[in-house]
Amino acid sequence: MDRSHFCLYPIYIDSTKSVSEGRKYGIDVCVPAPKWQEIKSALCKLDIEHVSEPGSMHPRDFMKPGRFRINKKYGKRFVVEGLSATIMETRKGIQKQSGTGQAHYKAPKGIVQNGLYVENKLNLVRKKKNKKKQ
């Protein structure tokens, strides 16, 4: 491989992996469980020169194939930050589109006394009474 490119495997930007498991960049610039197709579409959106190799596998993550050779002129940090931002935007867009429009109602945490809801701000719990056997 020539020195004008660097390799990027999906595991390098996976925030669910530790450094010993293969992550190369900080968690703040990584994405949870990135897929090869997501990275490829993000690179195309950012107009970054790359060569995609879907059959190549990382030795520590051989169950998820895929590798990208990216031109070094863009800079590693810039590419990774751009990828993570683009992937997160894409994921948020997909979540908004797939929303059914129904609001999820979450029951409030608190106590109902005399038919009125009383909020439990201090997280107080009623003390159990000891029942004595006679």
Do 23 and 13 form a contact (C-beta atoms < 8 A)? Answer: yes
pLDDT category at 1 given cuts 50, 70, 90 is low
Q: Is the pLDDT of residue 40 over 80?
A: yes
**Amino acid 68: pLDDT:** 92
How much of the chain exceeds pLDDT 90, in percent?
Answer: 10
Q: What is the mean pLDDT of residues 41-51?
A: 89
Q: Is the pLDDT of residue 99 over 80?
A: no
Q: Is the pLDDT of residue 125 over 80?
A: no
Quote the mean pLDDT of the chain: 81
CA dihedral 50, 55, 56, 58 (to 10 degrees): 120
**Amino acid 69: pLDDT:** 92
Q: What is the mean pLDDT of residues 51-79?
A: 87
Domains of the chain, earliest start first:
5-98 (3.30.56.30)
Between 3-7, 28-32, 91-95, 103-107, the lowest mean confidence (pLDDT) is in: 103-107
Q: What is the mean pLDDT of residues 41-63?
A: 87
Instruction: Give dist(CA 79, CA 29) in Å, integer.
Output: 10
**Amino acid 49: pLDDT:** 87
